[in-house]
Amino acid sequence: MKAIYCVLLVALVLGSPYMRSAACFDGSAGLGAPSAGDASQQGKGRTIDRLKFPPLEFAPPTAERANLPNGMTLFILENHEIPVVDISAVLRTGGIYDPADKVGLAEMAGTVMRSGGTVSQTPDQINQKLEFISASVETGMGDDRGSAQLSCLSKDLDTVLPILADVLIHPAFREEQIEIARAQMLDGIQRQNDTPQSIADRIFPQLIYGKDSPLARSATEETVKRITRDDLVKFHDRFYHPNNVVMAVSGDIKKDAIAAQIQQVFAGWPEGKPEPEPKSNYTAASARSAYFVHRDVNQTSVRIGNLAIKQSDPDYFPLAVALQVFGGGFSSRLFNQLRTRQALAYAASASMSGGLGEPGYVFTFSETRADATVRAIETILQLMTEMRDKPVTEQELASAKASMLNSFVFAFDSPHKIAARTATLYYYGMPLDFLQKFRDNVSKVTAEQAMDAAKKYIRPDAAAILVIGNQTAFDKPLSSLGSFTTIDLEKW
């Protein structure tokens, strides 16, 4: 009798209670091709190709919300499998609030809040306490939000949670730590043009939103050198208040007990006045524009894209599916044509960046050899046009949806990722059931909806094209694409 083997595919890390799928197959010939002596299997292909998988089940638990009297909002998810507690906070602040002449202020504040210790504890004292119990407390800063994290064994929470509160409420901003942070930022600025990727990461958002937009501007040596300790103190006083905090808490805790403990530990932290978000002045481009950065390298980095929509937009899921068809994986149109068929690129993909606080942008990323640069760009633009005109097939649609669903679950392989994502959704005013409805929202996208979204938001006629490489080795002059601007990194 042939043995019947069942392969259990655990969609997340081993033992995850949220996602599982199973497949059964006749394993007489193993996972490879059928043996030469098994005539009944000839012509049927490999056994692995005949595996049939039921739909992946994705049922993430829901974090429970608690509103504290001090204005802090909590999202709590209990998980008693291991004795660990994780806390992450999102704070309504960020680099978008930096004065134009002191860009980098928020970043430095986010760093020195932790590295500079508190009024009552030096950095070394905090570090020694945390290291002794293998715990961590960190702070950080993004463009449109601040962050703070805590991780410890549940038995040590009474020790670690007050440290987190002390760091958020009473940072000392010691001068020696400010100078260390300043030196690190200046070193980063000096190295920001070291690689094509770092150049593209900095320049491309500026082409989408504008060089001086709070969403895309970069710190310079001049702006960083202007920042003083008084600036950091005022920045903290302006934004760090409990009613500016959304906190995710998960692990070996009880909802009511942890809410009461957090309220007690943060008692006395005064509420603040909400700050209006800075206005971002940007408009979608109406025509295609190309930009060139010279680097003496033997391959070219290319990014092509345009302003799109927020993730809260009704078109978000159709657009996400369209981008998956276009450039989301090995079976995508972009990868198939640019790399597999024409061998023009080492890497080729398309995706959407941002889209939470402000509209995000769709873009392609590719790297090609220098002597195929313009041909690769022409191919990408042609594929962008075809994505708007060539109908999405049922096979493409099914493959795109399966890839999105299977990869999405890996972003939430722990209770804390789910709680933290829920807190982030709340922070940006997104539907709190986004995770729970993700599968349904993806599954119901039709081929027609995906193509309609592509027509709206994949815009080869209005795309920004950023080319980084050595144009003396290009197959054609960049001028063959139309007018282009050369960016001088020393002056940009």
Q: Residue 411: give the domain boundaries.
A: 289-427+441-486
- Report yes or no on 152 lying in a domain: yes
Phi-psi region of 397 (alpha: psi -120 to 50; beta: other; left: phi over 0): alpha
- Do 252 and 123 lie in one domain? The reply is yes
| Local structure of 25: helix, strand or coil | strand
Question: Strands 84-91, 245-251: parallel, antiparallel or unpaired by DSSP?
Answer: antiparallel
Judged on CB neighbours under 10 Å (0-12, 13-18, 19+), 154 is middle
- Report yes or no on 320 lying in a domain: yes
- Do 336 and 456 lie in one domain? The reply is yes
**Between the CA of residue 396 and those of 219, 328, 329, 385, 444, what are the distances in Å?**
42, 11, 11, 17, 15
- Do 86 and 121 lie in one domain? The reply is yes
- Do 203 and 321 lie in one domain? The reply is no
- Report yes or no on 433 lying in a domain: no
Judged on CB neighbours under 10 Å (0-12, 13-18, 19+), 207 is buried
Q: Quick check: 485 and 292 in contact, CB under 8 A? A: yes
User: Which amino acid is residue 482, in one-letter code?
Assistant: G
Nearest CA-CA partner of 475 in 372, 396, 364, 388: 372
Tell me what pLDDT residue 407 has.
86
The last residue of one of the domains, among 231, 265, 299, is 265
- Report yes or no on 432 lying in a domain: no
- Do 36 and 96 lie in one domain? The reply is no
Nearest CA-CA partner of 478 in 197, 274, 290, 297: 290
Q: What is the DSSP letter of 52?
A: B
Q: Tell me: the pLDDT tens digits for 398-412?
A: 999 999 998 887 777
- Report yes or no on 240 lying in a domain: yes
- Do 172 and 302 lie in one domain? The reply is no
Q: Quick check: 428 and 267 in contact, CB under 8 A? A: no
Q: Quick check: 74 and 243 in contact, CB under 8 A? A: no
Cα–chain center distance at 267: 33
- Do 86 and 204 lie in one domain? The reply is yes
Low-confidence ranges of the chain (pLDDT < 50): 1-43
Sequence-ordered strand ranges (E) for 142-197: 146-153
User: Which amino acid is residue 487, in one-letter code?
Assistant: I
- Do 74 and 163 lie in one domain? The reply is yes
Q: How many helices (H) and strands (E) does the chain have?
A: 15, 14
- Do 31 and 82 lie in one domain? The reply is no
| Local structure of 481: helix, strand or coil | helix
- Report yes or no on 56 lying in a domain: no
- Do 230 and 304 lie in one domain? The reply is no
CA angle 52, 54, 56 (to 5 degrees): 130
Question: Strands 20-26, 4-10: parallel, antiparallel or unpaired by DSSP?
Answer: antiparallel
- Do 188 and 223 lie in one domain? The reply is yes
Domain holding 214: CATH number? 3.30.830.10
- Do 74 and 195 lie in one domain? The reply is yes
The last residue of one of the domains, among 265, 281, 299, is 265
Tell me what pLDDT residue 346 has.
85
Tell me what pLDDT residue 15 has.
40
- Report yes or no on 279 lying in a domain: no
Tell me what pLDDT residue 18 has.
46
* Total structural domains within the chain: 3
- Report yes or no on 374 lying in a domain: yes
pTM (2 decimals)?
Answer: 0.85
User: Which amino acid is residue 168, in one-letter code?
Assistant: L
Tell me what pLDDT residue 293 has.
98
User: Which amino acid is residue 242, in one-letter code?
Assistant: P
Specify which residues 313 forms β-bridges with. none
Q: Quick check: 409 and 58 in contact, CB under 8 A? A: yes
